[in-house]
Amino acid sequence: MDAIIILQAGVATGTVLLFATIGEIFAERSGVLNLGVEGMMLIGAMTAFSTTIATGNPWVGVLAAMFAAGLISQIHAFITITLQADQVVSGLALTFLGTGISLVLGEGLSKAGTVSLLPNFSIPLLSQIPFLGPILFTKQSVMVYIGYLLVPLTWYYINRTRPGLNLRSVGEYPSAADSLGISVFRLRYFYVFVGGMLAGLAGATISLAVAPGWFSELTTAGQGWIAVGLVIFAQWDPVRAMFGSYAFGALRRLILDIQGPTLLLGFDNPFYYNPYWGFFLQMLPYAFTVIVLVIGSREAMRKRLGAPAALGNPYVRGERGK
């Protein structure tokens, strides 16, 4: 049990949540709640893994995963934006659909053997920084570094650019955006697609970098749902999403590591001598998510920070309000 190893692994596994959470932030900021993240991530993980087996190139796998997950997200976009149907039900359907398709097409992939994975490397100078260097910049996956770049870029895009302003306006006040000539439908389709692509990227990060392989629905093990929860905790802000994701990643690793040593803080380690106690530990990330939701929801209420005002509402041209 080494704090640096736990944090280092936490950043790596947290990168999966980070991509999925930022993707969902894009979709929700445009006013579309997409509960299908889990399904899209499975599609991404399966596509990335099988494409890499077929082509031998993990980067082709990553691109295929992003495209496949983006494609399936468009089903949700069509149902909720064009047909104006219920976003919750449609998102659930997308989870079923994505899970089913990836399990059917992924059948047999778990025995596929080894594939070429995404590279790990250290950043020269930066890895020499005391404490932070070994955690953030030593032997991390290339995906982790992409995550570092994605967060500030996303923040800048949403808060400081014209297209970002359009994105926010479509999610907060679509009829006003529409009157300014911004196409609400087109932007919502686009950001649901972006959300899907990032969920696919998250899936690819699992199967090609962080926990390589295909383990049917255990590949994601509910992380898509945790990502949807983190969006609320993050208050739709990519920087907060980053802290939340890494904290979760570290927690998952801590749970694994705590079961290893025979002594814990000088006492006999109960998790070592009674392995079934470990299942209690495995509840923690989920219990923690609930706590995070309680805190996040209260804070949001107190500060009157809320979800994008039009989140969950279909936009109907010419209808009053909303």
Site for another protein, rule CB under 8 A: 35, 39, 75, 79, 83-86, 88-90, 92-101, 103-104, 107, 217-218, 222, 225, 228-229, 232, 274-277, 279-280, 282-283, 285-287, 289-290, 293-294, 297-298, 301
Could you tell me how many residues make up the chain?
Answer: 322
**Minimum distance from residue 199 beta carbon to another protein (Å):** 16
Count other Cβ atoms within 10 Å, centred on residue 190.
Answer: 17
Strand 140-141 versus strand 120-121 pairing type: antiparallel
**Minimum distance from residue 229 beta carbon to another protein (Å):** 4
Of 7 and 16, which CB lies nearer to another protein in the complex structure?
Answer: 16
**Minimum distance from residue 282 beta carbon to another protein (Å):** 5
At 120, is the secondary structure helix, strand, or coil? strand
Q: Could you tell me if 12 and 144 are in contact, meaning their C-beta atoms sit under 8 angstroms apart?
A: yes
At 215, is the secondary structure helix, strand, or coil? coil
Of 85 and 117, which CB lies nearer to another protein in the complex structure?
Answer: 85
**Minimum distance from residue 230 beta carbon to another protein (Å):** 10
Of 30 and 90, which CB lies nearer to another protein in the complex structure?
Answer: 90
Q: Cα-atom radius of gyration of the chain, to the nearest Å?
A: 20
Of 196 and 229, which CB lies nearer to another protein in the complex structure?
Answer: 229
Tokens of 86: 């219920």
Three-point CA angle 54, 58, 60, nearest 5°? 75
Q: What DSSP designation does 237 have? A: -
Of 126 and 283, which CB lies nearer to another protein in the complex structure?
Answer: 283
**Minimum distance from residue 127 beta carbon to another protein (Å):** 35
The residue ranges of DSSP E strands in 218-271, in sequence order, are 263-264, 267-268
Name 14's Cβ contacts closer than 8 Å, sequence gap at least 6: 245, 246, 247, 248, 249, 250
**Minimum distance from residue 54 beta carbon to another protein (Å):** 15
Of 4 and 294, which CB lies nearer to another protein in the complex structure?
Answer: 294
